[in-house]
A and B are shown apart, each in its own frame.
Chain A
Amino acid sequence: MLAIRTGQKVEFSEQSLQKVTEIINRYPEGKQKSALLPLLHLAQDEFGGWLSVEAMDYVARMLHIQPIEVYEVATFYSMYNLKPVGRFLLEVCQTGPCMIRGAEKLVSQLEEKLKIKNGETTTDGLFTLKTVECLAACGYAPMLQCGEHYHEFLDTEEKVDQLLDQLRRKAAANN
């Protein structure tokens, strides 16, 4: 069992709250539970890239549903992170078509360069490495997803280095 509480107070920003209302209003009267998946994405984005128990309970209250209904859903879908992740979550596709074009090599390169194993986060909290199943980029393999972006054709070490550099620079620029 995995249930992490942070003790933090979770509350959406004014802008997100507006988005919440907008989302809930898309569905027919009384069907606000349909907003659960989108709201969990919103919460994950806003509360540090993962969902604490507090964040899930918060969403449950917003939709007037039982917390267990949120946990059931949050644990079902693979995109919801139920423990903290690094600033950049690198999700490498490992399914067949990517595998035959070098996904395994990509994973080992990343493990080596970041000095972490699959599923771990770098000590500086910058990167989390995770293998995932098919991301529908089979023709552009090997690839990984980082946040909103697909990084495709990562078939050479230079491209992997470039990507990591780019992300590091992005992190430095934001700090």
Chain B
Amino acid sequence: MSRKILLDKIGIAGIETFPVYRSNGGYASVEKALKMQPADIVEEVKKSGLRGRGGAGFPTGLKWSFIDKKSGRPRYLVCNADESEPGTFKDRFLMEKLPHLVLEGMITASIALEANLSFIYVRGEFRWIIKILEKAIVEAKEAGFLGRNILGTGYNLEIVVQTGAGAYICGEETALIESLEGKRGNPRIKPPFPAVSGLYGNPTVVSNVESIAAVPWIVNNGGAEYAKIGVPKSSGTKLISACGNINNPGVYEIELGLPVKDFLFAPEWCGGMKNGKRLKAVVAGGSSVPILPAGLFLKTANGEDRLMSYESLADGGFATGTMLGSGGFIVYDEDQCIVRNTWNFTRFYHHESCGQCSPCREGTGWMERILHNIENGHGKMSDIDLLWDVQKKIEGNTICPLGDAAAWPVAAAIRHFRDEFEWHIKEPKECMVRNFGIAEPAIV
């Protein structure tokens, strides 16, 4: 279960340069795509079962098929490289190590969408990556894979590297589009969806870096081949960025369906818990997804082994399950305080809320202040229920998913670690002691 299709060439010296990338089979998908009907490319991506790797897991091919081609207005592809979800650092890795793979994917996707101007929106903090991408664009242009009359086919495409400037919310596709138009990153009210009215009011597809990087392989080998990798409904490979109290933090490409136990403990991947500590909890897909205590993480409520797949991680719904999300894998050992972590995440969402709609603008701050009180020994028992009620009133009631993303971690922390919250309130002086709350027997 260690098949690699994104990072297979990562070890080759100089793979970040055009000549090396090209001589190792790079840009073949562009050549192939230019000979295909655009609709057939979209069909292959549909067949592959590839699901959006940014976190929502919406089928990529289906999203592409919604783009309005009838109106004749210009179409845009926007590659979402605003990676900001706590726990997630995979797109950065891809762009840094394999900039040409990202470009190749963008060119191929642009051909499929019949776009002549495409953007890659990179979070502003990644300044060195912006340079890497700009250099790669120059190289690809010189080689005739970008610009006017690509490979003599008459197809024109420009790719622009756009910089963000520090706003998690711009990872939301309509906020990203607003930002790309030079505005505040306020998410738009949908419908209309970007496929009909996106950038400059024109049909637009926004796809995550990792989704786009999977396109060359799909076009080269066919969607059906891709669908054979992984498990049904969770086809292909996924980059997981692993961090927290583990021995080998880093970015790993796994075949979907890998048992989480293997991923967490095998030396090939996370390599087990750092300093021999016991596993307490895991956030499997970036800070927004529900945290699970060790026992529920390793096995579903039915006692089955949990797998790294969209379905298995979600097994049991939010009551006992979580989500694969963006693949930001955060591991907590027995010394970590769930209340402190929840407060920290809530502060993050409070800081990143755009402030447009009232539940998120006011609710995230309110939750942060309640959590801050509890964490610092000033909480009341009724605060726990209040917190639960506040998150519930945010969830589902906001313009964009940031409200949900802020509510879920709070809900899950209370759901699975309520005793730890109560302990903070009952023993205010001992709050700072960080060895409480092993929810499950130790597993090493």
Task: Report if A78 contacts B (CB, 8 A).
Answer: yes
Bound-state CA distance A78–B84 (Å) is 13
Task: Report if A99 contacts B (CB, 8 A).
Answer: yes
A33 and chain B: residue at smallest CB distance: B182
Residues of A within 8 A of B165 (CB): 37, 40-41, 77-80
Residues of A within 8 A of B182 (CB): 33-37, 63, 65, 69, 73
Contact B163 A134 (CB under 8 A): no
Task: Report if A136 contacts B (CB, 8 A).
Answer: yes
Interface string of B64-75 (1 = CB under 8 A from A): 000000000010
Residues of B within 8 Å of A, CB-based: how many? 56
Residues of A within 8 A of B245 (CB): 100-101
**Cβ distance B209 to chain A, nearest Cβ, rounded Å:** 12
Residues of A within 8 Å of B, CB-based: how many? 43
Residues of B within 8 A of A147 (CB): 127
**Cβ distance B303 to chain A, nearest Cβ, rounded Å:** 29
Residues of B within 8 A of A145 (CB): 125
Interface string of B328-344 (1 = CB under 8 A from A): 10101000100011001
Contact B125 A97 (CB under 8 A): no
Task: Report if A122 contacts B (CB, 8 A).
Answer: no
Residues of B within 8 A of A133 (CB): 86, 168, 348, 351-352
Task: Report if B251 contacts A (CB, 8 A).
Answer: yes
Task: Tell me whether A73 and B183 are in contact in the complex, defined as CB-CB below 8 angstroms, given that A100-B332, A138-B88, A148-B127 are known contacts.
Answer: yes
Which of B126, B162, B185, B344 is A99 in contact with, Cβ under 8 Å? B344
Which of A31, A76, A134 is B85 in contact with, Cβ under 8 Å? A134
Contact B86 A95 (CB under 8 A): yes
Contact A134 B183 (CB under 8 A): no
**Cβ distance B364 to chain A, nearest Cβ, rounded Å:** 13
Contact B181 A31 (CB under 8 A): yes
Contact B249 A139 (CB under 8 A): yes
Residues of B within 8 A of A76 (CB): 167, 184-185, 354
Task: Report if B267 contacts A (CB, 8 A).
Answer: no
Residues of A within 8 A of B185 (CB): 76-77
Contact B241 A96 (CB under 8 A): no
Contact A100 B244 (CB under 8 A): yes
Bound-state CA distance A136–B242 (Å) is 12
Task: Report if B260 contacts A (CB, 8 A).
Answer: no
Which of B89, B183, B351, B352 is A137 in contact with, Cβ under 8 Å? B89
8 contacts between A and B (CB under 8 A): A38-B163, A69-B183, A73-B183, A94-B344, A100-B332, A101-B245, A139-B242, A139-B249
